[in-house]
Structures are given as structure tokens and as C-alpha cells.
Chains A and B, each alone.
Chain A
Amino acid sequence: MVLNFIIGIISAGIPLAAPLLLASLGEMFNQRAGVFNLGVEGIMLMGAFVGFLVVLTIGSPVLGFLAAILVGAVMGLLMAVVTVKFKAKQGISGIGLFMLGWGLSGTLFRVYVGGITSIEGIRTFSFPLLGKIPIIGEIFFQNNILVYITFLLVPISWYVLNKTAWGLKVRAVGTNPQAADTLGIKVERIRFQCIILGSMMAGLAGAYLTIAQTHIFADNITAGRGFIAVALVYFGKWKPAGIMWGTLLFSLAHALQRSIQVYGINFPYEIAVIIPYLLVIVVLALSYKSQLLGPAALGKPFIRGSRE
């Protein structure tokens, strides 16, 4: 009973972590380049809706995901133009992007779909042999393909950031853009690239929710995951592995509270629901000092010749 309870939590937690991890890794690229993108939630909502709509009308999950990535790229481009090109305040622009995504996805849903409709989307598949291993198979080898891709992105992101020329430029641009500029690095170009890349990942994360997880779309279906993703970047100290642990912690707490409800354990569910969120706040409060290691130019527009 207890073992089943625990296995249940872990095997439910891992797929729940995937969209958060995707969005959070995307936000990490934004922030590593010095851009604070609060619009993740809005981008996720648009990705969720567009992915859902494509699957509903064409039936192809692959095209659904691609469409969501494309929508993410477009919204990222918008964010980049506003904050990098026109140097608008990043926090406010991000909130604007969130509202845009929220309002637009909800409105389009009502216009083109109307009510709750479910789609086929993608389902989990079990690895041959591996999936049959007791416990381990259930936890690790019975997920949908995107879960594996997402977790594979953790080492890939680490490698890109730390071992490639582009990654070095990203890290420099996010910490001391003036220095990067004097070395001939195109600060604005790198920031554009990072915002768009991160937004594409956020769009995909949104589509994951509708195509791979819930198979429906509803207004505000992301329920704050985009903002949690932003918080988890701080939690993970801007490092892919740290972010992965953060998303797992959050998702396991999320699965735990669901299990508490499902199993009918005598515990007020209102409190259970807030556990994961409370956890993030507590950990963030305790990890204050890590901000010293973060990208120092985070949130500051780059203006050549300014001494700030």
C-alpha cells in the first residue's frame, strides 16, 4: 500500500515535470542572456491552444507541436523587439505578453472551438522489455516521447551553455554586455536568439499540456505553471541540472497532493493544493544568496555607451 502510494507519486510526478522543465529551461536561456521574460505563461497558453487546435482539425500531434513552437517563436520575437530593440522595461513587457497570450487563447478558443472537446493527442508508450521491469519500468519507461526528449534537453542545454562558443557568448551577454560588446559580440542578436529559443520551448511546453497531458483545452489551462517556471530558474541557480531538480521537487509535491485527494486521506485538500506553491516560496526565500552568482545584467536593457 505504502509502496504503491510512493510509486504512484513518482510515476505521476515525472510526466508532470516535463512541461515545467521545458518552460523553465527556456526561461533559463532568456535569463542567462540577461532578459527577464515574465511572459512564459502567456506563451504557454498560446502554445497550448494552437497545438490543441491543430490536432483537433488536422489530427497530427507532430504538426500540433510544430505549430506551438512556431507560435512561441512569434511571441518571443514580439518580446525581443519590445525589450531588446526598443529597450522597454522587461517586467512590464512580460506581464503584457502574459495578458496577451491569456486573452487571445481564451478568445480564440471560444470563437473557433466553443466548448470542451477532447482530442486524441499522444499517449504514453511502454519500452519493450524495460517497461516491464517492476517499479523501475513503471516509473521510468512508461512515458510519452516528449518526456524523454525534455529530460535529454538538460544535458544538452548544459553542453550548449558551457562548451560552445554560442553558450559562452550567452553567458557573457547576460553578465556584462558592455564587455561582450567591446569584444565585437552582437549583444542584441544574442538576446534575440535566446528570447526566441526560450519562447519556442515555452510554446512546446504549453502544447504538451493539451496534446500529451490533458487532451483538452480550457481557459487558463496552464494555471500559473509559466510563473512557476520563472521561479524555478532562480531555484535552480540558472543551471540546467538545478532547474531539473527544482521541477521534480515541485511536480512530486504536486503529485503528492493529488494522491492525497485520490486516496481520500483525511487531510484538508485546500491545504494539500497549496503545498507545491508554498514549497517554491520557501525554497526561493532560502536561496537568496545564490543570486550573487546569477546573470548580473538580468533585467537591464543594453545601451551602448551607457555607463550603468
Chain B
Amino acid sequence: MPEIIKKLEMRKITKKFPGVLACNNIDIHINSGEIVALLGENGAGKTTLMNVLFGLYQPEHGEIFLNEKKVVINSPRKAFAYGIGMVHQHFMLVPNLTVLENIALGFTSNKIFKLELNKVRTKIDEVSKEYGLSVNPDAYIWQLSVGEQQRVELIKVLCLGANLLILDEPTAALTPQETDELIGLLKIMAKKDRSIIFISHKLNEVKAVSDRVCVLRNGSLVYEGTTPEHSVSTLAEKMAGREISMPTLKEKSHATSPILEIKNVFAKGSMGTMALDGFTLTVNRGEIVGIAGVSGNGQKELADVINGINHIESGQILLNDEDITNKAPQKIINKGMGYIPEDRMHEGTIPSFSVKENIIMKDYNHPPLSKNTFLQNKIIENYSSELINNFDIKCPDNKTSCASLSGGNVQKVILARELSRKPKMLIASYPIRGLDIGAAEYVHEQLLEARSENIGVLLISEELDELLDICDRIAVIYEGKTLDILDRDIDTKSKLGLLMAGIKDEKKVI
């Protein structure tokens, strides 16, 4: 067992990537029993700094001191040997192995033959009992929900003897209930003298869980202080370096003229099961309707079938009273559908194409952008430059490839393309996922702007704050059905949370 970490310090850490200074002379420290939140926008250097601590990256400069002794951590194996464990944002689990095998994997590094599964099983039992983390060791990872997988990750690092836990955006894919459980658990761990570094840009959670915050911006440590002395909004300011106010809906719309009608739709998902199981919903002009739900309950399939990317088995979809059921995507686009896909790098844009090309992707084949099959370069040039200007897309010029832009700017390219076409209806799937707070603010402003232009908006999200901020109505999707539709004024966050877990009536909770 590694020795107890009383104090860990990272001194003057500098890490460069080609063309980027990811960490610039950063000093941070953590004591035993402490929860430190590492706060910062995308690309601020949080994950890079932690990957240095975990031995995945070697810094150009800087040293790590453990209990006042200098240590060199040049591989994850070393990190574990010193009692440092990391739960990555993208879980590091092997899906076609069982929980037991995944954890046993951590004990195999020097072994060829001996696989002591029973010893590992006992270890898992001990850890589960100590922290009340229940898990079936013989379940395959692919059978587990995201929340359960996270539990496996935690058990794994604890089994491997970690005294210091690094959690990289641990709540990104959790339901509100799971998040609360996790926060409770982390506090118990801290009481048992483990140290925890919590990476996040969700400020409510940072506020709830941490003792101290370290704020990174553009690779430098810009602020360090105790958490209680700050409010959520001052933390946001420290993070963005300017004042931030997330836009919210001022008053509820009373729109009643339907633009998108989804009637009793059944559709299969990629696994061949019914992902949409009789889904029904109407969106009116000038209204933002939210779809709340834990991902994997049919959201992806819903967005796909509305846009004609997948076929439905039965049911009907109307856009502006016209039947668009199972029509080709291009037909649906031409009838006035706009779409901000969930995966902005693979579906929303072609990363190797330039900003200019991505902007004209939906209109290149008709005038004025093309004439008699020939692209009108001058017009395209002006058009794209105008949009880059209007939507404040930060890029060297319109020939820059989308792959080299930040997530927020890629999302602006998509917004520019979709909104400048003046759609009647806009589907936005997780439009601020992974974006930093400044970019999220901008996206929401644009969605509200679309609403005021009488466009119907369907907003799919897991973030309750996002939905409560800007939606007129919120529908909860559960196992492919509309479980309930809540009006904005009577909504409470906890009610939505329960609905997302599939519990419709609070009294019926067993």
C-alpha cells in the first residue's frame, strides 16, 4: 500500500503542445482530506495538468513533491504506486470485460500467468462495503448505465489503493440524483483523509463539493481561494475573465400555432430495439420546447427521425402541416428544418473542410451560391465573410479548417449556417455540451433570438439549468415515450430529476 498523502504539490509546471502552451508555470497543492476544485473553461489546461500528475504527460518544466519529497511520475503505473488515481472524463473501462476483470487488469502489470480473480473480488467487496458502493462484479461493462460505470471507476481506483483521487468532469453524464450521490460520496472520502481534485465547469457542483478552488485560464493559474467566500457568479467571472450572465426567458410564450407535430412515432435504435416507443409532441411557432432525459432514452433517434436521417416504423411527423415522415434529409431541409446535431465534429461539420465550405454546406446547390452547377466563388466569399462577422466566429480567415477551431467556434459556424437560412423549425441537440460558459451564453442568446423571430425550437438537453433557463415547456423523454410535459412556471428542478429517472408520481417511489 502506498504511503498516506499528507501534502502534494505541483511546482511551476509547464507543458507545451505544438503551437499551444497548455500549462504555464502552474503551482497548486492539496492536503489530505481536502477537496480542491480545478475550475476553468475548455482548453484552460485543467485536464493537461492532471494528466501530468497522473504520469500520462511529461512536463517541460516543473516538479512534483509528495510529502515534501520530490517524485518523478512518468507513467500511470508510477502514479498508482504513489497512491494517485484518476477517473477520466471518458471512462477508462473495457466494455467487453466484466467489472471484476476490469479491476483485475490493474493488478496484472508484472504478471504473465497468475490471474487472482478471487483476491480481487474480496478487495472489491471490502471497498464496496466501506463506501456503500454496490456493484455486481460479474456484470459486463456494456451492460451498465453511465452512473454505474462511474461507480466501477471509483471502486477501481480505490481498489488500486489511491489516496488522492483526480476526477475529470465526473458529473458530465450523470443525472441530478446521481450527481448528488457522488457529491455525498466524495465528502465521505474526504472525511476518511483522502484528497480529491475535482475538475469541472459546473459551478453549482463546485460550490457544493469543494473546500478550495483553483481557477485556470489559458494555461495559467489566475486565482486560488477558499470556496465559501465566493458565489456562483463570482466564480463564473473568475473563470471567463469577464462578467457573465446566462440569458433567461423573460416571459412564457402563449403561442398556439403548431409548426412541428410528432404523432405516435415508433422507431428502432442502432441496437434494433424500439428506441422511440409511441413518442408524441407538438412544438409551436415562437416557442422553445425542451426535451429532458438521461441520454440513451431515445433523444438521438428523435433528432434523427425528425431530420430524415433514420426511418420510423409507424407514426407521423408534420412540419408546417406538411407530412415529412420518412422523407429524404434534403427534402426536409428545403422545407425549412434547421438542425444543430449532438456531435458537432462528425455530424455538424466536416472538420477538414474550411469554415467557408461548412457554412455553405446546405445551400451550395442553388442560387445565388451556385449557378448551372458552378459555384459562385465571389458570392460565397462575401456571404461567408459576412456570417463570420455577424456570428463573431473567431478564425484567422474563412479558409481555416473547422478542425482547428475551438468547440465554441465550431458551434458558431453551425449556428451561422442553420440560422441564416431562416428555418421555420430548429432542432438543437445538446447545443452547449462541452462548451465553456461564454460560448454557452452566446448559443442561448441565439436560440432566444430565433424564438423571437417566430421559429419553433426543440432543445434536447440533459442539463436542467439550461432547460429551465430558456424553455417555455419541458417534455421529459423516458424509454422512448413522452413521460410528461411540464410548464415552465410550475416546474421544479427536483420534479424534473425524478421524471428523468422514470418516476412519474413521487408517492409511488418504492
A joins B in a complex: yes
Interchain CB contact under 8 A, B76 and A182: yes
Question: In the complex, how many angstroms separate the beta carbon of B258 from the nearest chain A beta carbon?
Answer: 39
Could you say which of A167, A178, A179, A305 has the most chain B C-beta atoms within 10 Å of its C-beta? Answer: A179
Interchain CB contact under 8 A, A185 and B96: no
Interchain CB contact under 8 A, B92 and A165: no
Interchain CB contact under 8 A, B90 and A307: yes
Docked complex Cα distance between A172 and B76 (Å) = 16
Known: A168-B104, A304-B56. A185 touches B92 (CB 8 A): no
Could you say which of B80, B88, B93, B96 has the most chain A C-beta atoms within 10 Å of its C-beta? Answer: B96
Interchain CB contact under 8 A, A172 and B94: yes
Q: Is B254 an interface residue (CB 8 A)?
A: no
Q: Which of B109-117, B205-213, B435-443 forms contacts with chain A?
A: B109-117
Set of chain A residues within 8 Å of B112, measured between Cβ atoms: 164-166
Q: Is B342 an interface residue (CB 8 A)?
A: no
Q: Is B315 an interface residue (CB 8 A)?
A: no
Q: Is B51 an interface residue (CB 8 A)?
A: yes
- Number of A-B residue pairs at CB separation under 8 A: 84
Interchain CB contact under 8 A, B105 and A185: yes
Interchain CB contact under 8 A, B108 and A305: no
List residues of A (180-204) whose CB comes within 8 Å of B's CBs: 180-186
Known: A175-B96, A296-B95. A183 touches B106 (CB 8 A): yes
0/1 interface trace, chain A 248-277, chain B, CB 8 Å (1 if under): 000000000000000000000000000000
Interchain CB contact under 8 A, B109 and A175: no
Set of chain A residues within 8 Å of B56, measured between Cβ atoms: 181-182, 304-305
Interchain CB contact under 8 A, A305 and B113: no
Count of chain B residues with a beta carbon within 8 Å of a chain A beta carbon: 31
Known: A171-B94, A171-B96. A185 touches B108 (CB 8 A): yes
0/1 interface trace, chain B 131-160, chain A, CB 8 Å (1 if under): 000000000000000000000000000001
Q: In the complex, which of the residues A165, A175, A181 contacts B108, with contact meaning CB atoms closer than 8 Å?
A: A165
Q: Is A2 an interface residue (CB 8 A)?
A: no
Docked complex Cα distance between A165 and B107 (Å) = 9
Classify the interface of chain B: helix, strand, loop or mixed.
Answer: loop
List residues of B (241-294) whose CB comes within 8 Å of A's CBs: none
Known: A164-B112, A165-B113, A181-B76. A172 touches B90 (CB 8 A): no
Docked complex Cα distance between A47 and B111 (Å) = 31
Set of chain B residues within 8 Å of A165, measured between Cβ atoms: 108, 111-115
Q: Is B353 an interface residue (CB 8 A)?
A: no
Interchain CB contact under 8 A, B115 and A184: no
Q: Is A60 an interface residue (CB 8 A)?
A: no
Question: In the complex, how many angstroms separate the beta carbon of A242 from the nearest chain B beta carbon?
Answer: 15
Q: Is B54 an interface residue (CB 8 A)?
A: yes
Set of chain A residues within 8 Å of B75, measured between Cβ atoms: 184
Interchain CB contact under 8 A, B86 and A182: yes
Question: In the complex, how many angstroms separate the beta carbon of B381 from the nearest chain A beta carbon?
Answer: 33
List residues of B (72-88) whose CB comes within 8 Å of A's CBs: 75-77, 80, 86, 88
Docked complex Cα distance between A180 and B96 (Å) = 13
Interchain CB contact under 8 A, A180 and B90: no
* Nearest opposing residue in chain B for A193, CB measure: B112
Docked complex Cα distance between A166 and B111 (Å) = 7
Set of chain A residues within 8 Å of B111, measured between Cβ atoms: 165-166
Set of chain A residues within 8 Å of B391, measured between Cβ atoms: none
Docked complex Cα distance between A169 and B75 (Å) = 17
Interchain CB contact under 8 A, A169 and B86: no
Q: Is B364 an interface residue (CB 8 A)?
A: no
List residues of B (31-49) whose CB comes within 8 Å of A's CBs: none
Q: Is B21 an interface residue (CB 8 A)?
A: no
Q: Is B101 an interface residue (CB 8 A)?
A: yes
Set of chain A residues within 8 Å of B101, measured between Cβ atoms: 168, 171
Interchain CB contact under 8 A, A183 and B76: yes
Set of chain B residues within 8 Å of A167, measured between Cβ atoms: 115
Question: In the complex, how many angstroms separate the beta carbon of B89 from the nearest chain A beta carbon?
Answer: 9
Docked complex Cα distance between A168 and B101 (Å) = 7
Q: Is B503 an interface residue (CB 8 A)?
A: no
Interchain CB contact under 8 A, B108 and A169: yes
Q: Is A213 an interface residue (CB 8 A)?
A: no
Q: Is A282 an interface residue (CB 8 A)?
A: no
Q: Is B57 an interface residue (CB 8 A)?
A: yes
* Nearest opposing residue in chain B for A164, CB measure: B113
B interface residues with partner A (beta carbon < 8 Å):
51, 54, 56-57, 75-77, 80, 86, 88, 90-97, 101-102, 104-106, 108-109, 111-115, 160
Jot down 29 A-B pairs with beta carbons below 8 A, ordered by A.
A163-B115, A164-B112, A165-B111, A165-B115, A166-B108, A166-B112, A166-B113, A168-B104, A168-B105, A171-B97, A175-B95, A175-B97, A176-B92, A178-B90, A179-B94, A180-B94, A181-B76, A182-B76, A183-B80, A183-B92, A183-B105, A183-B106, A183-B109, A183-B160, A184-B80, A293-B96, A296-B95, A304-B56, A305-B56
Given contacts A166-B111, A176-B92, 13 further A-B contacts (CB under 8 A): A164-B112, A166-B112, A167-B115, A168-B104, A172-B94, A172-B97, A175-B96, A179-B91, A179-B105, A181-B76, A182-B54, A182-B92, A183-B92
